[in-house]
């Protein structure tokens, strides 16, 4: 009898989930080692996971937002390292079956974040499947 009380709640949650659909931009952060534009162990798995997700939603665009460490962030990275990181992620996405025409790259370069980030967070490429948040 108690389960009858929770039944309307379960249906209302399921109904909200159905209305919400997929998120507008599913994000997959890919982290890099310092001074490197190569995918390391684990990073390639994230890219493959993003490619599988992108395959399920082939009508959605893919945006790569690439970053490198800002000046005075424990070390100085080359100025074009964000583009090299985006190129490595693009190559892996294409190797995993994503059409290159779906991929749009936004190199941000060495950005000093408004909120302090860890040493790892500034060395990343965000793969966004769907519309990126504004």
Answer whether residue 30 is part of any domain: yes
Answer whether residue 58 is part of any domain: yes
Answer whether residue 13 is part of any domain: no
Residues of 93-127 as b/e, b for ≥16 C-beta within 10 angstroms? beebebeeebbebebeebeeeeeebeeeebbbbbb
Give the model's pLDDT for residue 34. 84
Model confidence over 101-129: pLDDT tens digits? 999 999 988 876 665 556 667 789 999 99
Q: In percent, how much of the chain has pLDDT > 70?
A: 70
Model confidence over 65-101: pLDDT tens digits? 998 877 765 667 788 899 999 999 999 999 999 999 9
Domain residue limits at 102: 23-130
pLDDT at 14 over 80: no
Answer whether residue 105 is part of any domain: yes
Output the average pLDDT for the chain: 79
Answer whether residue 106 is part of any domain: yes
Answer whether residue 29 is part of any domain: yes
Nearest alpha carbon to residue 109 among 75, 92, 84: 84
Overall domain count for the chain = 1
At 31 the three-state DSSP class reads strand
Answer whether residue 94 is part of any domain: yes
Give the model's pLDDT for residue 72. 63
Give the model's pLDDT for residue 48. 96
Answer whether residue 17 is part of any domain: no
Task: Specify the CATH number for the domain of residue 38.
Answer: 3.30.1330.60
Tell me, what DSSP letter sits at residue 58?
Answer: T
């Amino acid at each position: 009898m108690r389960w009858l009380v929770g039944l309307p709640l379960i249906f209302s949650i399921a109904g909200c989930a159905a209305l919400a659909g997929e998120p507008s931009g599913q994000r997959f952060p890919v982290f890099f080692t310092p001074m490197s534009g190569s995918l390391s162990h684990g990073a390639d798995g994230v890219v493959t996971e993003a490619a599988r997700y992108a395959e399920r939603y082939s009508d959605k665009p893919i945006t790569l937002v690439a970053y490198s460490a800002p000046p005075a962030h424990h070390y100085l990275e080359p100025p074009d390292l964000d583009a090299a990181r985006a190129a490595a992620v693009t190559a892996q996405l294409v190797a995993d079956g994503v059409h290159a025409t779906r991929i749009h790259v936004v190199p941000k370069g060495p950005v000093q974040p408004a909120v302090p980030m860890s040493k790892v967070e500034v060395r990343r490429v965000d793969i966004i499947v769907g519309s990126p948040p504004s």
